[in-house]
């Protein structure tokens, strides 16, 4: 199979999976109300089949992230509810980082060569910056919650950031939000909306962490000048 045929086959499989998600209306199960309505059944099954519950949770989180589907916040709350704050954050991290890496590699495999052929000269300074300081840039994007997670996954695949740096920055950068949402998930029944979790103070703290992640880059640029 040629590279072009492989790309088309990959796009077809991915498109079919996304289409099935919306056609079957699976998103109706990824709402706060749906999870609250079935929380007792979910908790009972998890307690009776803990290892299987962990595996299913990580695989579903990975698939949701890899396909850029909605529901990440709900999954994270459920992780905290079912497994507790620290174990839940760990399982969330495994699922989200794995799924984000798959999305990153897919974007790189499918689109980067074409984008570089079309916009190579324009993108050269950006590519050089990501090749040199990609870890810090990506860590900032992960920590500041205003940047959509799925969009960062896809755009990163078009840059020259190394795969190892991408995985590490993603795994580290999602820790604060994972802990906050998993901790909130422990009181799942008391939540009225997803907005109850992310207060302005929490979002401000995330933004500050993101800016601090850029400090080494700023220092290196200042020292060079």
Residue 129's Cβ-side half-sphere holds a number of Cα atoms within 13 Å equal to 13
Residue-wise pLDDT for 40-59, tens only, equals 999 999 999 999 999 999 99
Asked which of 5-9, 91-95, 219-223 is least confident by mean pLDDT, the reply is 219-223
Averaged pLDDT, 178-198: 80
Task: Please tell me the predicted confidence (pLDDT) of residue 213.
Answer: 65
Q: How far apart are CA 149 and CA 130, in angstroms?
A: 18
- Predicted TM-score (pTM) of the model is 0.87
Quote the DSSP letter at residue 114.
Answer: H
Say which residue, 221 or 72, is predicted with more confidence: 72
Task: Please tell me the predicted confidence (pLDDT) of residue 155.
Answer: 86
Residue-wise pLDDT for 62-102, tens only, equals 999 999 999 999 999 999 999 999 999 999 999 999 999 99
Asked which of 7-11, 43-47, 65-69, 166-170 is least confident by mean pLDDT, the reply is 7-11
CA angle in degrees (0–180, nearest 5) for 185-174-41 = 25
Task: Please tell me the predicted confidence (pLDDT) of residue 214.
Answer: 64
φ, ψ (nearest 5 deg) of residue 214: -85, -10
Cβ-based neighbour number of residue 193 at 10 Å: 7
Task: Please tell me the predicted confidence (pLDDT) of residue 219.
Answer: 47
Averaged pLDDT, 105-127: 74
Length of the chain: 225
């Amino acid at each position: 199979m040629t590279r072009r045929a492989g790309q088309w086959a990959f796009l077809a499989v991915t498109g079919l999976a996304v289409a099935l998600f919306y056609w079957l209306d699976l998103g109706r199960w990824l709402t706060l109300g749906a999870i609250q309505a079935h929380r007792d059944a979910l908790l009972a099954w998890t307690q009776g089949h803990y290892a299987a519950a962990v595996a299913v949770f990580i695989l579903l989180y990975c698939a949701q992230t890899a396909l850029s589907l909605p529901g990440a916040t709900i999954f994270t709350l459920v992780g905290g509810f079912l497994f507790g704050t620290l174990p839940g954050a760990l399982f969330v991290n495994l699922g989200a980082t794995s799924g984000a890496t798959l999305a990153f590699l897919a974007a790189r495999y499918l689109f980067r060569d074409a984008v570089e052929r079309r916009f190579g000269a324009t993108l050269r300074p950006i590519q050089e910056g990501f090749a040199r300081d990609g870890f810090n840039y990506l860590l900032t994007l992960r920590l500041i919650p205003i940047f959509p997670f799925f969009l960062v996954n896809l755009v990163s695949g078009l840059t020259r950031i190394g795969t190892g740096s991408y995985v590490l920055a993603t795994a580290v950068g999602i820790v604060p939000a994972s802990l906050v949402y998993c901790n909130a998930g422990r009181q799942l029944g008391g939540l009225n909306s997803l907005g109850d979790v992310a207060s302005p103070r929490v979002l401000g703290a995330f933004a500050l962490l993101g800016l601090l992640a850029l400090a080494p880059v700023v220092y290196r640029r200042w020292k060079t000048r």
